[in-house]
Amino acid sequence: MVYTQSGSYRKYVVSGGSGALTNGTKYTFYINFNSYTQEPAVAGYTNAVLTSSFGAGNFLNSEFISSIAVETDSNASAGSVEFTLGGMIVGDIVAGVSGEKEYGFLADVPAAYP
């Protein structure tokens, strides 16, 4: 889910439906806002595009993103690890400026869980 300060929101889902992901595979999920078509390039990861499924409000280019929420809809049992979020980057292309600005974090993800 992506929320803006103006009260607009959009929910994004993995393109291709719930069966599109393979257990144990490392994915790079991405959203192409406003016709931005650059796919991420992360060695060892499979790209999976997220598409808008529903939302509310205008969701205009001038709106500021206030928050992003990540969730799953799997049937995993309580306490199990469904996924590990290793990082999140929001890229921005500024008109009249070459290149892209990126904002985000990268987590220190352990190689294995106890």
**pLDDT at 53 (0 to 100):** 80
| Mean pLDDT of the 96-112 span | 67
Sheet holding 65-68, edge to edge: 27-30, 46-56, 9-14, 2-4, 65-68
Give the span between the Cα atoms of 88 and 86, in whole angstroms: 7
| Domain boundaries along the sequence of the chain | 2-106
- Best mean pLDDT range from 9-13, 37-41, 79-83: 9-13
Cα dihedral 22→36→56→58 (10° resolution): 180
Q: Tell me: the pLDDT tens digits for 73-103?
A: 777 777 777 777 777 777 666 666 666 666 6
Task: Report whether pLDDT(51) > 90.
Answer: no
Task: Report whether pLDDT(49) > 60.
Answer: yes
Give the span between the Cα atoms of 62 and 107, in whole angstroms: 30
pTM recorded for the entire structure: 0.68
Higher pLDDT, 109 or 24: 24
How many angstroms separate the Cα of 7 from the Cα of each of 3, 10, 68? 7, 10, 13
